[in-house]
Amino acid sequence: MSEIGIGIVGGGYMGKAHSVAMASVGAVFNTALRPRLEMIAGSTPESGERYRAAFGFARGTGDWRALVEDPRVEAVVIATPQTFHREIAEAAFALGKPVLCEKPLGASLEDSRAMVAAAEASGVVNMVGFNYIRTPASQYARALVDEGRIGRVTCFRTEMTEDFLADPDLPATWRTEGIANGNMGDLAPHIINCAHAFMGPIAELCAVVETVHADRGGVAVTNDDQAAVMVRFENGVIGTIFSSRVATGRKMGYAYQIDGTHGAIRFDGEDQNAIHLYLREGPETTQGFRKILTGPTHPDYLPFCQGPGHGTGYQDQIIIEAKDFLEAIHSGESRWPTFREGMEVNRVIAAVHASHNDKGWKAVKDF
């Protein structure tokens, strides 16, 4: 067992989540590498010191460059807005330091391509923080599909729906300014990654992107609220992807249904500790979806709890992510989703916007 110095850039919502995860992961998973909370960077020296004291780091700073360049920081977690991701990642890779970057990988496809180039040129471990696909339930669902338990997949439908901007009277904020902060830049990456996880690459798509509330308190909204996308995957399966930040009543609508020739799977992030499985077996009178609660026999569940049905939560997803990152560093081999997967998600987003603008189908390989 050995220590590794962790530096986290950003101490807000995700910075706190990653800090808690790095403080907990060794005890939960008994990892060979044990994180040492070495330094955290805020936007000012004051916020850096505040995060240090709150989260238990040895040092705080208001300069992310000082964090990246510090020799005691051996791996970097980027938890800032996406407009800063590229510069921080490139600086870390130039020094040969592994990077876990929050999604979306870059603020644009150009950023993502540059980040992939830097990551692969450095030869060091890189990973993107798509945490929702790591729930024990979704890991189990992926295994069922890969094993052919529901037969040949015939359709994949998925959504990422929340309602934090459903109220038209809410004021304009940074979230309503700039394409990178819109629904397609913020929410959609998670569910595109979900589609890739189950079905592989998307070959072509046709999309409609919409700003539902174009004005907030007299300030123009300059990005999208929701999008509907028809897709065909490279494996031939058809599907739909819907994402929205104005879906009234939805709080954590990371959901999917996978139809197959012998069965089907349903999942909803508002009930993240269960999948609903339908198997076309036995007499018709007993066929139907059955709810399977996750427990110690499902992936990455037992380290948290020995009781079936007791469940894991959002923070546990980030701890699983931290475990994957540390194990990748220990083995020297990056784990999916890597920066390249983050770039592929950005390619799909670029194709979605182009499809909407041109009102037609687009091949993702053209982006």
Q: What is the pLDDT of residues 197-215, one digit of tens each?
A: 999 999 999 999 999 999 9
pLDDT, residue 79, reads 98
Task: Say if 367 falls within a structural domain.
Answer: no
The arithmetic mean of pLDDT across residues 213-220, rounded, is 97
| Claim to verify: residue 48 and residue 149 sit in the same structural domain | no
- The band of 224, judged by pLDDT with boundaries at 50, 70 and 90, is very high
Q: At which of 96, 129, 162 does a domain end?
A: 129
| Claim to verify: residue 52 and residue 159 sit in the same structural domain | no
Average pLDDT, the chain: 97
| Claim to verify: residue 104 and residue 191 sit in the same structural domain | no
Q: At which of 129, 159, 191 does a domain end?
A: 129
The arithmetic mean of pLDDT across residues 307-319, rounded, is 97
Cα 79 to Cα 40: distance, rounded to the nearest angstrom:
10
| Claim to verify: residue 234 and residue 100 sit in the same structural domain | no
- The band of 16, judged by pLDDT with boundaries at 50, 70 and 90, is very high
| Claim to verify: residue 187 and residue 308 sit in the same structural domain | yes
Cα 96 to Cα 90: distance, rounded to the nearest angstrom:
10
| Claim to verify: residue 170 and residue 64 sit in the same structural domain | no
pLDDT, residue 72, reads 98
| Claim to verify: residue 140 and residue 287 sit in the same structural domain | yes
Task: Say if 15 falls within a structural domain.
Answer: yes
Question: What single-letter amino acid sits at 56?
Answer: G
Q: What is the pLDDT of residues 270-300, one digit of tens each?
A: 999 999 999 999 999 999 999 999 999 999 9
Q: At which of 75, 99, 129 does a domain end?
A: 129
Q: Which pair of tokens denotes residue 254?
A: 């990371």
| Claim to verify: residue 43 and residue 174 sit in the same structural domain | no
First to last CA, the chain: 44
For the beta carbon of residue 366, count every other beta carbon within 10 angstroms: 10
Strands 99-102, 202-210: pairing kind: unpaired
| Claim to verify: residue 261 and residue 213 sit in the same structural domain | yes
| Claim to verify: residue 231 and residue 277 sit in the same structural domain | yes
| Claim to verify: residue 139 and residue 100 sit in the same structural domain | no
Cα 322 to Cα 326: distance, rounded to the nearest angstrom:
6
How many domains, the chain? 2
The enclosing domain of 10 has a CATH number of 3.40.50.720
State whether residue 365 is helix, strand or coil: helix
Taking 90 as the threshold, does the pLDDT of residue 124 lie above it? yes
Task: Say if 73 falls within a structural domain.
Answer: yes
pLDDT, residue 253, reads 97
Task: Say if 365 falls within a structural domain.
Answer: no
Q: CB-hemisphere CA count at 13 Å for 68? A: 22
The enclosing domain of 301 has a CATH number of 3.30.360.10
If you ran DSSP here, which 8-state letter would residue 171 be given?
A: P
Full domain range(s) for residue 85: 2-129
Task: Say if 295 falls within a structural domain.
Answer: yes
Adjacent-strand bridge partners of 256: 158, 267
Cα 19 to Cα 72: distance, rounded to the nearest angstrom:
17
Question: What single-letter amino acid sits at 15?
Answer: G
Task: Say if 213 falls within a structural domain.
Answer: yes
Asked whether 259 and 155 are in contact (CB, 8 A), the reply is yes
Q: Which pair of tokens denotes residue 298?
A: 């499902």
State whether residue 245 is helix, strand or coil: coil
The arithmetic mean of pLDDT across residues 17-26, rounded, is 98
Q: Which long-range contacts (C-beta less than 8 Å, at least 24 apart) are formed by 355-363?
A: 355/205, 355/206, 355/207, 355/229, 356/207, 356/208, 356/209, 356/227, 360/206, 361/204, 361/205, 361/206, 362/204, 362/205, 362/206, 363/203, 363/204
Task: Say if 174 falls within a structural domain.
Answer: yes
Starting at the edge strand found earlier in the chain, the sheet holding 362-363 runs 290-293, 274-279, 263-268, 253-260, 153-161, 238-244, 226-233, 202-210, 362-363
| Claim to verify: residue 49 and residue 157 sit in the same structural domain | no
- The band of 101, judged by pLDDT with boundaries at 50, 70 and 90, is very high
State whether residue 159 is helix, strand or coil: strand
Q: What is the pLDDT of residues 167-177, one digit of tens each?
A: 999 999 999 99
Task: Say if 340 falls within a structural domain.
Answer: no
Asked whether 39 and 70 are in contact (CB, 8 A), the reply is yes
